[in-house]
């Protein structure tokens, strides 16, 4: 987003805690391209890996460190971490989040309840977490179909709520008018394409409640 000059009103991705000494306790200096450990020792940039680089400390610095027991993996004599190529942008996003104004916070809260739930549902329940076929065109088609499925579910739920509300109102108002109740049940059963039950009887005619025309 920075490369496209887009300032997003979203929080930075939380850092996974995989070590008793997490990465957030290390300090990165973008100007000199160095990394400092929690005890102030320098880690120098090393070999490149996919989407990042290794930063390693000196074994002499870690030998007498009081955090070595928690910080180092089994069998290692120095610390090695991988910083992604986008780590400086990640730090800048965190700083921008700390400087959010009240308007930015209100904008994010509105976006959060309007959009994030739908995105999570599409990814979790409708397979949008992975692309089914290659190419951007196929991914767009998948996204449109997923959005259509989610919207149809919303429409069906809203229609059912309205139908139940109308039924409850009609049932309440026609409780004292058997003929009116009978007409309402017949129209509802006609819409559902099932045979209407017998009013005043605890059971419907055999097979009529489940018979489809």
pLDDT by residue, tens only, the chain of 213 residues: 777 877 777 777 777 667 788 787 888 888 888 888 888 888 888 888 888 888 888 888 888 888 888 888 887 888 888 888 888 888 888 888 888 888 888 888 887 777 777 788 888 888 888 888 888 899 999 999 988 988 898 888 888 888 777 777 766 665 555 666 667 667 766 665 666 555 444 444 444 444 433
Cα torsion at 119, 125, 130, 135 (round to 10°)? -80
CA distance 176 to 151: 39
Axis crossing angle, helix 178-192 with helix 136-173, rounded to the nearest 10: 160
Closest-CA residue to 20 (of 76, 84, 67): 67
Closest-CA residue to 94 (of 33, 36, 34, 11): 11
pTM above 0.75, yes or no: no
Matching residue, tokens 């309440």: 172
**37-40 long-range contacts, Cβ below 8 Å, gap at least 24?**
37/61, 37/67, 37/71, 37/79, 38/67, 38/71, 39/65, 39/66, 39/67
CA distance 27 to 22: 11
- Classified as helix, coil or strand, 33 is coil
């Amino acid at each position: 987003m920075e490369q496209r000059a887009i300032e997003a009103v979203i929080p930075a991705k939380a850092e996974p805690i995989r070590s008793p000494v997490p990465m957030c306790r290390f300090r990165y200096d973008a100007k000199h391209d160095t990394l400092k450990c929690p005890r102030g020792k320098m880690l120098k940039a090393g070999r490149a890996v996919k989407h990042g680089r290794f930063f390693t400390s000196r074994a002499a610095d870690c030998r007498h460190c009081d955090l070595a027991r928690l910080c180092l993996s089994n069998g290692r004599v120095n610390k090695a971490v991988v910083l992604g190529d986008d780590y400086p942008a990640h730090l800048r996003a965190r700083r921008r989040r700390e400087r959010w104004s009240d308007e930015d916070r209100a904008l994010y809260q509105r976006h959060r309840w309007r959009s994030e739930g739908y995105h999570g549902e599409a990814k979790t329940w409708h397979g949008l977490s992975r692309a089914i076929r290659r190419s951007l065109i196929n991914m767009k088609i998948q996204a449109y179909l997923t959005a259509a499925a989610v919207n149809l579910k919303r429409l069906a739920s809203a229609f059912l709520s309205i139908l139940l509300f109308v039924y409850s109102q009609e049932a309440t108002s026609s409780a004292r008018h058997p003929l009116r109740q009978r007409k309402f049940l017949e129209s509802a059963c006609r819409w559902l394409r099932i045979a209407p039950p017998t009013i005043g009887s605890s059971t419907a005619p055999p097979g009529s409640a489940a018979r489809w025309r």
